[in-house]
Structure 1
Amino acid sequence: MYKPISLFIAIRYLWNTHLPKFKKIITILSIIAIAISTASFIIIMSMINGSEESFKKNVLSFIPHLIITNKNQYIKKSELPKNILKLHNIEKISDFISKEIIVQSENDIAMAEIIGMDNTNFFNMKNYGIKNILDVLKTGSYNIIIGEQLAKKLNVYIGDKLKLILLSNKKNFFSGQIFDQRIFKIISIFSTKSEVDYYQILMNKKDSLNFLNYSKNYVTGWRVWLKDPLSLNIKEIKKKIDKLVVLDWKIQKGELFKAIKIEQYIMLFLFFLILLVSILNIFITLTVHTIEKKNAIAILKTQGLLNWKIMLVFVMFGSGTAIIGNILGTIISVALIIQNDILKFLINIFFNETDIPIIIQPYQVFMINILSTLFTIFLTLYPSWNAVRLKPSRILSND
Structure 2
Amino acid sequence: MIRNLPLFIGLRYFSSGGRNSKLVSFISLLALSGLSLGVGLLILVLSVMNGFDREMREHILSVVPHVQITNSNTIADWQSQRQLISTIPSVVEVTPFNQVEGIVFSNNNTRPLQILGLDRNILPKGLKTVLKEANLSMPADGELLLAQPLIDSLNLVLGQSVNIILPSDANRRAKIVSLMLTGIFSTRTEVDQMLGIVSLKQAALMTGNRDEIYGFRVQLDDLFQSRAMAHRILSQLPIGFTSVDWTQSHGNLYQAIQLSRNMVSLLVFLIVGIAAFNIISMLMMMVLNKRKDIAILQTMGASKKQVLNIFLAQGLLIALVGISIGVIMGVISCYWAANLVLAVESFMGTQLLDTSVYPIDYVPVDLRWHDVLFVSLSALFLSLLATVYPAVKASNTIPAEALRYKS
TM-score norm. by structure 1 comes to: 0.75
Contact 1:299 1:392 in 2 (8 A): no
Q: State the partner residue of 1:36.
A: 37
What is the rounded CA distance, in whole Å, between the counterparts of 1:370 and 1:84 in structure 2?
47
Cα distance, 1:97 vs. partner?
A: 0.9
1:94 alignment partner in structure 2: 94
Provide the residue aligned with 2:166 in structure 1: 165
8 Å CA contact 1:295, 1:395 repeated in 2: no
Q: How do 1:331-346 residues align onto structure 2 when only pairs under 5 Å count?
A: 331-339=328-336, 343-344=340-341
| Aligned equivalent of 1:125 | 128
Deviation at 1:188, TM superposition (A): 1.0
Question: Could you tell me how far 1:377 is from its partner in structure 2?
Answer: 0.9
| SS of corresponding position for 1:72 | strand
Tell me how far apart the structure 2 counterparts of residues 361 and 256 of structure 1 sit (CA, whole Å): 22
- Contact kept in structure 1, 2:27 and 2:278, CA below 8 Å: no
Alignment of 1:273-292 (within 5 A): 273-292=270-289
**CA–CA separation in structure 2 for the residues paired with 1:287 and 1:93:** 64
Cross-structure match for 1:45: 46
1:377 is matched with: 384
Paired position in structure 2 for 1:173: none
Deviation at 1:332, TM superposition (A): 3.0
Cα distance between partner residues in 2 of 1:234 and 1:159: 40
CA distance in 1, matches of 2:64, 2:388: 53
Distance 1:333 1:147, change over 3 A: closer
- 1:265 and 1:58 map into 2 onto residues whose CA distance is 22
Letter in 2 for 1:4: N
Deviates more, 1:373-382 or 1:255-264: 255-264
In the other structure, the counterpart of 1:5 is 5
CA contact (8 A) 2:38 2:271 kept: yes
Distance 1:294 1:84 in 2: 78
- Structure 2 CA distance, aligned partners of 1:325 and 1:106? 58
Q: Is the deviation greater in 306-315 or in 320-329?
A: 306-315
Return the offset for 1:121. Answer: 1.4
The one-letter code of the counterpart of 2:128 is: M
Give, as a single letter, the amino acid of the residue that structure 2 aligns with 1:367.
F
Q: Which residue of 2 aligns with 1:322?
A: 319
The 1:359–1:307 alpha-carbon spacing in structure 2 relative to 1, beyond 3 Å, is same
Point out the more displaced range, 193-202 or 178-187.
178-187
Contact 2:99–2:117 (CA<8 Å) still a contact in 1? no
Partner SS state of residue 64, structure 2? coil
Shift of 1:372: 0.6
| Separation of aligned partners in 1, 2:315 and 2:169 | 74
CA contact (8 A) 2:167 2:174 kept: yes
Deviates more, 1:298-307 or 1:367-376: 298-307
CA distance in 2 between partners of 1:156 and 1:338 (Å): 37
Q: Matches of 2:175 and 2:207 in 1, distance apart?
A: 10
Deviations 1:310-349 (A, max 9, x none): 4333222112112111112222333444455884489669
Query: How far is the alpha carbon of 1:282 from its aligned partner?
Result: 0.3
Q: Distance in 1 between matches of 2:374 and 2:393?
A: 30
Q: Tell me the secondary structure at the aligned position of residue 97 of structure 1.
A: strand
How many positions carry a matched residue from both structures?
A: 380
How is 1:360-399 mapped onto 2 (pairs within 5 angstroms)?
Answer: 360-388=367-395, 390=396, 395=401
Q: Pairwise CA RMSD of aligned residues?
A: 4.2
Between the aligned partners of 1:48 and 1:351, the Cα distance in structure 2 is 25
Residues 192-203 of structure 1: pairs in structure 2 closer than 5 A: 192=186, 193-203=188-198
Partner of 2:217: 222
| Whole-angstrom CA distance in 2 between matches of 1:26 and 1:237 | 58
Distance 2:324 2:219 in 1: 44
Which residue in the other structure is 1:179 paired with? 173
Query: Tell me, what secondary structure is at the counterpart of 1:281?
Result: helix
Partner Cα distance (1:69, 1:198) in 2: 23
The answer for the alignment partner of 1:189 in structure 2 is: 183
1:322 corresponds to which letter in structure 2? A
2:134 and 2:185 in contact (8 A); partners too: no
User: Could you tell me which residue of structure 2 aligns to residue 147 of structure 1?
Assistant: 147
Unaligned runs of 5+ in 2: 236-240, 353-361
- Tell me if the contact between 1:112 and 1:199 (Cα under 8 Å) persists in the aligned partners: yes
Aligned to 1:174: none
- Kindly state the Cα deviation for residue 82 of structure 1 after the two structures are TM-superposed: 5.7
1:76-131 residue CA offsets vs partner (Å, 9 max, x unmatched) = 454567699544xx7x4222313232256687765422222223215122314443
CA contact (8 A) 1:167 1:179 kept: yes
Instruction: Give the AA of the match of 2:389.
Output: Y
What CA distance in whole angstroms lies between the structure 1 residues aligned with 2:305 and 2:89? 56
Helix, strand or coil: the match of 2:173? strand
Residue of structure 1 in register with 2:355 after alignment: none
Q: Which amino acid aligns with 1:317?
A: Q
Give SS of 1:220's match: strand
